[in-house]
Amino acid sequence: MRKITIGLVVFPRFQMLDIAAPGDAFAEVKVLSNGECEYEILTIATTRGPIQSSSGLTVMPDRTIFDPCPHFDTLIVPGGLGVFDILEDTTLTDWLAAQGESCRRIGAICNGVFALGAAGMINGKTVTTHWMDAARLASMFRKATVEPDRIYVKDDSLYTTAGVTAGIDLSLALIEEDFGKQMALDVAKYLIVYLRRAGGQSQFSPLLEVQVKNDSPVAAVQNYVLNNLNVEHTLLSIADEMQMSARNLSRVFKQETGLTLMNFVNDARIDAARRYLESTDLGLSEIARRCGLTNAATLRRIFSKRLGIGPSDYRQRFRSDATIAAAAN
């Protein structure tokens, strides 16, 4: 039998699904291989006694970081609301750093990457995390390169993932590395998930999260664009509308939002298209016209390039039950 030992680190208010989902995926390998291959999974806690997750469910860990532990082939840190409470725990960060030296690979699910960052393990690395935490991660750990749209990222022996269910994507990738693509595919079929998901995190997150003061000239620019998406905007045409020079508008907008004005316009068009796809049964040509994207072909091209998924597939995944029912009547 080939056995691979995996350690799952748990701490107060960890995300239960971050260990339960990979745990079930790893456990299925033994079933599908008829006992020829398996993962030995151990939970390692930061404190003694039962550990309560963010949902209130409790686990009794197999070990703590204070106990002798077997050699871990792979160590995984889950995310959860409690991760920000342990970042200054030097006992934990020292333990993680030591494990990183001896493990074949180490990973983090969702915002568990913050713990690895506190341990100095993501410096010079490319990582990802939940889209809601990506800006905070980049701000706190400036020596890391954060890719907010990725579902999971492998950089040498370091693995990081997007939020919550992305732990399944990570576990399938590890299973494929260890036991081959067919095994990973069989586990994915059993779990009723895709072996590799189409698109990135941006299909789940709003592209426009830029907040500026209401009395800022930039707020007026944003409101004008959002209320006139069907117009063929250019930097010069918007500057004329706002009675500003194009150069000054470009500088002020980038300074306050971190985006170029035309990137804002393009993201606004895509977000509007998403809302139409989710909440209406309008055809792609009409959606394109309302969003200022010329025609259905342009909508498909820009949508797929930005989100990694086509508009028709996006509609199938995300439109509401009410929209489906209305279309059927």
- Residue 110 annotated to the active site: yes
Within this chain, do residues 233 and 187 fall inside the same structural domain, yes or no?
no
199 has pLDDT over 50? no
Do 235 and 117 fall within a single domain?
A: no
Active-site residue (options: 37, 103, 110, 291) = 110
Please give the residue range of the domain that contains residue 284. Answer: 217-328
What pLDDT shows up at residue 207? 45
- Regarding whether 175 and 56 lie in a shared domain, the answer is yes
Shared domain for 29 and 159, answered yes or no, is yes
Instruction: Express each pLDDT in 272-309 by its tens digit.
Output: 888 888 888 899 999 999 999 889 999 999 888 888 88
Q: Is the pLDDT of residue 321 over 70?
A: no
User: What pLDDT digit, counting tens, does each position of 72-115 carry?
Assistant: 999 999 999 999 999 999 999 999 999 999 999 999 999 999 99
- The residue out of 177, 203, 229 marking a domain boundary is 203
Average pLDDT over the chain reads: 87
Question: Which of 147, 169, 203 is the last residue in one of the domains?
Answer: 203
Q: Do 263 and 173 sit in the same domain of this protein? A: no
Residue 320's pLDDT is 62
- 136 and 184 in a single domain? The answer is yes
Q: Does some domain include residue 211?
A: no
81 and 163 share one domain: yes
Asked if residue 305 and residue 160 are part of one domain, the reply reads: no
209 part of a folded domain:
no
- CATH code, domain carrying 81: 3.40.50.880
Residue range 119-132, pLDDT digits in tens = 999 999 999 998 88
The verdict on 223 and 152 lying in the same domain is no
pLDDT digits (tens, 9 = 90+) for 255-271: 888 788 898 888 888 88
**102 and 35, same structural domain?**
yes
Q: What is the 3-state secondary structure (H, E, C) of the chain?
A: CEEEEEEEEECCCCCHHHHHHHHHHHHHHHHHCCCCEEEEEEEEECCCCCEECCCCCEECCCEECCCCCCCCCEEEECCCHHHHHCCCCHHHHHHHHHHHHHCCEEEECHHHHHHHHHCCCCCCCEECCCCCCHHHHHHHCCCCEECCCCCEEEECCEEEECCCCHHHHHHHHHHHHHHCHHHHHHHHHHHCCCCCCCCCHHHCCCCCCCCCCCCCHHHHHHHHHHHCCCCCCCHHHHHHHHCCCHHHHHHHHHHHHCCCHHHHHHHHHHHHHHHHHHHCCCCHHHHHHHCCCCCHHHHHHHHHHHHCCCHHHHHHHHCCHHHHHHHHC
The last residue of one of the domains, among 170, 203, 236, is: 203
